[in-house]
């Protein structure tokens, strides 16, 4: 039996700047209630409930209007919890990322697509995800829908996965900054593989960096990594809070502080708006 994760903060810091209209949090999870939505076995952790009203309270403080709800590993390929969240939130402001295996039927994919799902996630950093061996099969099935593949894999996996990811018929989104840690510099093979993927023009990166910090709070060591991504692929960077911060030990992240970090990673307000508003609108199909 896995240990219960700590709960997210009930009170967070307000951003120290004006957040542009139409801003999007591109990475969050909705969890529970249990037992209505049962967790998969085996799993790597057991999170507490993190419901839509709780999340909307966070977004209200942040001044963020749009969101992307990502299937967490604890639900495996049963997307019913994330689907229910999208229905509750509505297509005018919410999109979703599913987890599916290559055996998934097109009827299920079309149902998810109609509800606002825009991608399929592969995660090998925790138990519960679809096998990475299904990557190519899933990509072929979702490509006609205009979906993308989202990946959360160990840093050292990128050199081996590079060609396979390069050959996919879909765009690819790197969860948690590709899990590139601050000590990866120069000609590091993992960093080189990720940067080469970004050069294809079909690879996006989520600027969600606290999990790759080696120093911990306040995560200042992540800044050079984030700035490198912004410098090389501003037009394909998005931001995510990662609320409710499952399986975090020690300091519980403050979502307002995390958003404040983004303002330190970008060169100007134009880039800030690009990452928070324009890029998510393109990647996830938000109108206006």
Active site residues: 242
- The label of the residue with tokens 């959360």 reads 152
Supply φ then ψ for residue 239, to 5 degrees. -115, 145
- What letter does residue 154 receive in the DSSP assignment? -
In contact, 189 and 224? CB cutoff 8 Å = no
Alpha-carbon distance of 278 to 72, in angstroms, equals 25
- What letter does residue 275 receive in the DSSP assignment? I
Residue 17, SS3 per DSSP: coil
CB atoms under 10 Å from CB of 105, counted, come to 10
User: Which residue from 284, 285, 283, 268 is spatially nearest to 20, judged by alpha carbons?
Assistant: 268
User: Which residue from 99, 147, 144, 145 is spatially nearest to 121, judged by alpha carbons?
Assistant: 99
User: Which residue from 120, 113, 117, 106 is spatially nearest to 149, judged by alpha carbons?
Assistant: 120
User: Which residue from 26, 61, 33 is spatially nearest to 47, judged by alpha carbons?
Assistant: 33
User: Which residue from 114, 112, 225 is spatially nearest to 176, judged by alpha carbons?
Assistant: 225
Alpha-carbon distance of 138 to 113, in angstroms, equals 14
Strand partners of residue 174:
151, 205
Alpha-carbon distance of 147 to 228, in angstroms, equals 26
Alpha-carbon distance of 35 to 231, in angstroms, equals 45
């Amino acid at each position: 039996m896995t240990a219960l994760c700590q709960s997210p903060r009930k009170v967070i810091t307000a951003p120290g700047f004006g957040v542009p209209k139409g801003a999007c949090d591109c990475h969050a999870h909705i969890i529970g209630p249990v037992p209505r939505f049962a967790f998969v076995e085996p799993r790597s952790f057991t999170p507490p409930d993190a419901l839509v009203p709780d999340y909307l309270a966070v977004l209200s403080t942040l001044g963020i209007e749009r969101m992307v709800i990502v299937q967490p590993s604890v639900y495996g390929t049963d997307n019913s919890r994330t689907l229910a969240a999208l229905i509750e939130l509505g297509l005018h402001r919410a999109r979703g990322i599913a987890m599916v295996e290559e055996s998934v039927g097109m009827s299920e994919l079309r149902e998810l697509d109609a509800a606002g799902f825009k991608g399929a996630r592969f995660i090998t950093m925790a138990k519960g995800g679809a096998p990475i061996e299904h990557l190519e099969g899933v990509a072929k099935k979702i490509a006609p829908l205009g979906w993308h593949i989202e990946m959360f894999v160990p840093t050292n996996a990128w050199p081996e996965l590079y060609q396979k990811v390069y050959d996919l018929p879909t765009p690819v989104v790197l969860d948690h900054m590709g899990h590139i840690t601050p000590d990866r510099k120069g000609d590091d093979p993992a960093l080189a593989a990720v940067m080469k993927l970004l050069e294809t023009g079909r690879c996006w990166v989520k600027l969600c960096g606290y999990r790759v910090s080696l120093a911990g709070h306040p995560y200042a060591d992540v800044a050079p990594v984030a700035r490198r991504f912004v410098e090389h692929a501003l037009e394909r960077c998005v931001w995510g809070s990662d609320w409710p911060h499952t399986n975090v030990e020690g300091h519980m992240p403050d979502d307002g502080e995390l958003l404040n970090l983004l303002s330190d990673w970008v060169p100007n307000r134009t880039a800030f708006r690009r990452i928070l508003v324009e890029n998510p609108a393109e990647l996830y199909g938000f109108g206006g």
